[in-house]
Amino acid sequence: MVFVGCAVFTFTQHSKSMKTFFIDESGDLGTKERYFVITLLAPQKSKRIINFMRKFCAKNSIQEVKASQLSFPQKQFIFNKLCSTNDYTISYIVADKLNIDNKKILEDKNLCYNYLLSFLVKKTIKSAHEDITLLLDNHSTKVKSINSLADYVKIKAFTQWGFTHNLNIRYVDSRSSKVVQATDVASNAIYAKYTYGKDHFYSKLTISESIKFPASKFGLNMPVNNSLTP
Residue 29: φ, ψ to 5°: -100, 15
Task: Answer whether 206's CB lies under 8 Å from 90's CB.
Answer: yes
pLDDT at 7: 43
Task: Answer whether 205's CB lies under 8 Å from 90's CB.
Answer: yes
pLDDT at 79: 97
Task: Answer whether 112's CB lies under 8 Å from 105's CB.
Answer: yes
Predicted TM-score (pTM) of this structure: 0.87
Domains plus CATH for the chain? 16-213 (3.30.420.10)
pLDDT at 196: 95
Which parts of the chain sit beneath pLDDT 70?
1-16, 139-145, 222-230
Look at the alpha carbons of 187, 188, 193, 195 in this order and tell me if their dihedral is positive or negative. positive
Digit-coded pLDDT (tens) for 42-81: 999 899 999 999 999 999 999 999 999 999 999 999 999 9
Q: How many CA atoms lie within 13 A of 18 on its CB side?
A: 13
pLDDT at 182: 97
